[in-house]
């Protein structure tokens, strides 16, 4: 599974760890995140993320 980076603040979403602070379990791919999920650091929406190089 691919990591995605927030283009606003640089936060990296890693599917191996998920987003436990927002009830996203480890193993959740970026594509499977809820549409209303936002960056836990800056609040940017999913469309502000790009695949990590």
Binding-site entries for Fe cation: 6, 9, 39, 42
Q: Which residues are annotated as a binding site?
A: 6, 9, 39, 42
Which residue, 49, 22, 1, is CA-closest to 14?
1
Strand order in the sheet with 12-13: 12-13, 4-6, 49-51
């Amino acid at each position: 599974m691919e990591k995605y980076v927030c283009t606003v603040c640089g936060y990296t979403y890693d599917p191996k760890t998920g987003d436990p602070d927002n009830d996203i379990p480890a193993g959740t791919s970026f594509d499977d995140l809820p549409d209303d999920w936002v960056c836990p650091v800056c609040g940017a929406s999913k469309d502000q993320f790009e695949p990590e190089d």
